[in-house]
Structures are given as structure tokens and as C-alpha cells.
Structure 1
């Protein structure tokens, strides 16, 4: 079993559809049913318009069908009898196999429960789609209705209708852990270890705005300007649009950067490594607008490039003594911004502000940063923004 993706020449009804995942078997024949579902996800379903979402579904389907092939099982076969006469579906058996995988290096579980659940969510979508189309008589799990707890109960909660959702018995119970954030000393160390001005400025931008990995990689040049004449004490508003850059769920939002960060971005594009990389990649480049950050060849960063760049900062001996990922910078920003806004307005309003800066759909998602804020020292939180500005301006202790 192999997972492949279409290139820009692939079209459906005259419209190009690059990045569509599809499976081929050992004989290099297309695997029809999962491929039909992946086509539905990418070309028909309106809620899944992101190629990253298509890839996630493709990888989950590929892993499951590879397991089926290795164990001589079929996705639509009847459940097998297990101990005590119980019936075990292929999907439940796959989940149990995933849980049992161990790491040869650590001896612990190879996959996190949250990772297994993410794959199961994609596979549940596949089976539900197959059932609606009459490919199977019923889905291989049981479900019941459960009441959703209120994120922020109020004294008027008795006037609200209770919200119930269908809960399956397939996915694992997961205990949420507080997001991992960087201390001020860790930010200084990270900034010092970023040997490339490009990686250093990308880290600074994510710490100041909470941009996701793909959002930072696609951050457009048109948003950068010379801030001379503006107050150095006021943050600069940037309205992010999905027509300019990659935004999750194509949801526009507004972020703010400090004067110092905008100055660094402008200088980077005008005189620094950014200008050199842009000139290097200009020959033969397409006329489409290019992002601020390019790799050393003058091309756009690949999907995993920034993760790999951060991994090199801590995976090699003598480098960072702590683990860091680009997404941890988003968590760090959210914690700092929530603390800053909480000193100026009630907590509920501060949460709503941070929710909008991050592009969350629910304030309940944003409320996790209340816990991370409590774990950090108030004095450190007060110093954070000034120290970040100093590091961007090249005046920090790092």
C-alpha cells in the first residue's frame, strides 16, 4: 500500500486539484473505496477545503488500510469474535494495535492517545460516509447522547437549552494537559541559537502574533512597511486575509505587532538576508506574490521545513537543552497576551480578545491559557514583551 498525492496537472471538470491524496495497492492499482472518500473530502465537502486537512485524512486512511493489508483483513468485514464471544470490528482492532505499539528507544507508547484519536476521527468520517452511501449496513461502533458541559456558566444558564452531542465508544479518553510554553530565559536561549536571521525573525513574529506554522511561512510581503513616523509605543494592526496567506479554515483575523518587529521585518526585506534570498529566487519565479520568508535557495518553505529547523536547535548535542516546536511559540504568545489584557479588562473580555487574535471558534478553547498563565511568575510576565522587543532590536542580553 502506498500513499500518493496529485500534482497541479490533475484536474476535475477543468479545475486543478493538486494535493489530493490517493492510495495504490501492491499491484499499483487504485484502491477505489478509500479514494472515493478522499475525493469527497477534497472536492465535495465544503467544510474541508484545506490541503492540510486532506493530507491528515489521507495519512489516517493510509495507515488503516496498510494495517488491513498486513493483517489480511477487509475494512467492511463483519466483526470477529474475541474472548468471551465478544465481537471486535477491524476499526477497534486497529485502535488496540495502535495503543500497543511501543518505542524501541524509550520502551513507552509510540503514539499518543490524542494522535490515535485524530486518526480515529478521520476513520469515523470514512465509515459514516460509507454507511450513508449503502456500502455497509451500519457503522462499527455504538454511540449515545451526552450533555456538553458549559465552558462559562452564568446566572442565566437556566434560560439556555442544554446542548447534547453524540459520543462514540471508539475513541479513547484523553486527559488534557496545559499547553507547553517557553519561559523568558528559554526565549532568550532560542533566539541566541537561531543562527539564521530568517529563523530568528520567524520565531520573533510567531511570539508576537501567535501565528501558526503555515501562517508564518506564508506571511505576505504586502503586510510589511517602513514604520518610521509611527509611535514606537503603539502596536501596529495587521488584518490577515485568506486571499493573501494560508489561514486555518480560511478565517480572517486581526493581529498586532510592535513597532520594533515591523522595523525588523522591513529591514530584513530591504537590506538583510530576506533581500538576498528574494533576489536568489527571483530568476524563473512565478509572477504570483511571494511570502516574506524564503529558504536559502530563494524558494518558499516546505510544510515541514520550520519544524525541522527548530528540531536542529535542540536535537544536536551542545544546542538547546529543552524541546521546542513552532506551535509552542503560539502557546507562549497566547499566555502573554492573556496576562497583558487581563490587567486592562475583566477576564472574560480578555479571553474574547485573545480568542479573536488566535482565530479560535470558541472561547472555551482559549480558556486553557488561564492555566498556563497561573504557572508563570507575574514578574516574568511583566518583563516579557519588553525583553522580546529588545531581542528583536538586537539589544537583548541574548
Structure 2
């Protein structure tokens, strides 16, 4: 069994799909059922994001390789409950491989979808799992009073129970240690930008230079500058789900970003033969990969040098947590959760509420105070 990534020659309905996962058998022939499923599952309208491709491909590859290593046939679904294929893979992943529950759940989700598709195509006569009713903790929210489910949902019985943990974020002292410990001007601005905006790593990687306008020269008098992140404006920003949203950056910090772009970024970008459209460029003056993995490595490396375990999404959590605290402490005409939801680009406010639970648990800690610069950036919103 082998997993490969398609080249530009891989075309479906006239469109090339570079990097699409393809499973091959030992004799290098297409594993037709799995590949047909992935084309159906990944390229349909609801699951069209290329970010889903690698995880789905690896999940299918890992599962089918497990079956092959144990001389099992993926179609042998009538083995009885004690020897169910998917359940055996789940237990193997946990006990032998030591995978995190979240990783196992993600892989099992794709595998279960594969079997549901196989059943619809008539490749198998039953599913190697059943459904069961589980009780879940629901957040209190709009229309909660008309929810008749009783907090119960139907789930596949092979799914391990999830254990939600609160997101991790940096304390004020950790933020200072991290920023002061970064000597590279490009890396320092990248980290500060993430802490000031809460952008995802893909958004940091593709943030356009065209969005960075000097507020003084542009005649802007606001204390906080609104920037519209629009994937369709031709500048190349990539947002989750290609959704348009507004973010606010303080006038003072935006002025710092302008100076960085003119001096440090300008010097680095001159190394490349072709000008880059992104604010942040790598050491060769070229844009980072749009998935932001290069930025992931930079942030983790910078953190390790000062003894702090950190990644870009933790910087996002840091921004969200401290911003919510500041907004709650101030008397203003905005709803803190609604503002934060829009700033972060969450589809549901339920996602944003996780930060509310977080600060409620640690409300007595001094680490909730954020730096004055961030306070200024949202003071007049």
C-alpha cells in the first residue's frame, strides 16, 4: 500500500488537483474503492477545502495499511462485534501507537464515512459499526429553550468519547519573554502581529502587503483601523471558508507595521526576482506557503529558544483570551463576545464562548492583565 500526492496532470472535470491523495496497491494499481470515495468526499461542495485532503488521505492509508499488515480485508464486515475491523483499528491506534484521542476520532470519522459510502455503492452489505445514544453537554445559547434532544445525540459506537480541554494561552510574562527573546526582526514582527490580530497561520502567511497602509498618509484619524479581509479582492488573503471579515488594528501598531514593511521587509523582499504580494516573506524574499507551515516552524522554534512551548494557534488563543478580559472590564457599547467572534472569524458564537469559560476559571489570576498596547488597540471600538 502506498499513498502518493497527485501532480498537476491529475484532472477531474477539467480541473487540475495538485496534491490530491491517491492510494495505490502493492502492484502500483489504484485502490479503486478508497480513491473513488475520496473524490466523492473531498471534492463535493460541502467538503471542498484542500486542507482536508492530507488528513483524509493519511487516515485511509493508515487504516488500510493496518488491515493489510494483519491480513484483514476491509470488506469483511461480518466478523462479529468482538472482532469488528474499525474497533480493532481504534484500539490499536490507542494502545499500540499511543495516538491522541482527538487524532483517533478524526481518523475514525473519515473511515466511517468511507464505509457509509461503500454501503451506498453496494460494496458491502452492512456497516462494521452501529450507532448509540450518548449524552452531551450543550452550551446555553439562542433557541436552547426549544431544543428537544435532551442533550442526547446519535454517534457511531466505535468513536472514543471526546474529552474537551480548554485552549492554552500565554500569560503576560510569557508574552514578554517570548517577544523580547526573539532577536530576528522578521520573526518578532510576525509574532507580535499574531498577538495583536488573532489571525490563523494561513491568514498570517497570506496577509497582503496591500492591506498595510500608512494611517497618517491615508488621512485616517481613527484610533483603530479597520481592515477588510476579503479573499475575493485579488490580493490573495486566504480565510477559513473564504469568508470576508473585518479586523481592527490600533493606529500605533499599524504605523509600526508600515515601518517594518518599508525597512526590514523591503530589504528582504529585494532578494527575490519577483516582488511578493504578502506582508511576511521568508529568508529568500519569497512568500510563505499558503498553509502557513513555515510560520508554524518559526513560532515553535522561537518559543523553544526561550523555553516556551508555543505555536501560532496558541498566539491566537492568547489574543482572544486577554482581549475578552479587557473588553469585559470596560464599560462600552459593544458586546465582548460578538466583537471577538467577528474578529476571530468564528461561524458560531458557541466557538467563541470557550474563551469565556476559560477566563471564568482563572479570573483570580494576575495573568489576565494584558499589555497596555493591546488595551489601547481596542479602547475606542
What is the TM-score normalised by the length of structure 1? 0.83
Residue 238 of structure 2 corresponds to residue 246 of structure 1:
yes
Distance 2:363 2:298 in 1: 27
The counterpart of 2:272, out of the listed 281, 301, 322, is 281
**Per-residue deviation, residues 328-370 of structure 1 (Å, max 9, x unmatched):** 0011111112112223469993222212221222222211112
- Number of residue pairs the alignment of both structures matches: 369
The counterpart of 1:328, out of the listed 291, 314, 320, is 314
Distance 1:9 1:184, change over 3 A: same
What SS is found at the alignment partner of 1:38?
helix
Residue 285 of structure 2 corresponds to residue 298 of structure 1:
yes
Superposed, 1:377-388 pairs within 5 Å as 380-386=367-373
8 A Cα contact 1:235 1:257, kept in partner: yes
The counterpart of 2:263, out of the listed 265, 268, 271, is 271
State the partner residue of 1:92. 87
4+ aligned runs moved over 3 Å, structure 1: 144-150, 156-165, 229-233, 344-349, 376-383, 387-390
Superposed, 1:1-398 pairs within 5 Å as 1-43=1-43, 45-80=44-79, 86-101=81-96, 110-145=98-133, 149-152=137-140, 158-159=145-146, 161-162=148-149, 165-228=153-216, 234-243=223-232, 244-272=236-264, 274-283=265-274, 290-302=277-289, 303=291, 304-315=293-304, 319-344=305-330, 349-374=335-360, 375=362, 380-386=367-373
For residue 387 of structure 1, report the CA deviation from its aligned partner. 6.8
Distance 1:195 1:131, change over 3 A: farther
Distance 2:15 2:286 in 1: 25
8 A Cα contact 2:198 2:319, kept in partner: yes
For residue 153 of structure 1, report the CA deviation from its aligned partner. 5.2
For residue 9 of structure 1, report the CA deviation from its aligned partner. 3.8
8 A Cα contact 1:131 1:138, kept in partner: yes
Distance 1:28 1:357, change over 3 A: same
For residue 149 of structure 1, report the CA deviation from its aligned partner. 4.8
What is the TM-score normalised by the length of structure 2? 0.87
For structure 2, the residue ranges without an aligned partner over 5 or more in a row are: none
Please report the RMSD computed on the Cα atoms of aligned residues, expressed in angstroms: 2.8
8 A Cα contact 2:10 2:17, kept in partner: yes
Distance 1:346 1:257, change over 3 A: closer
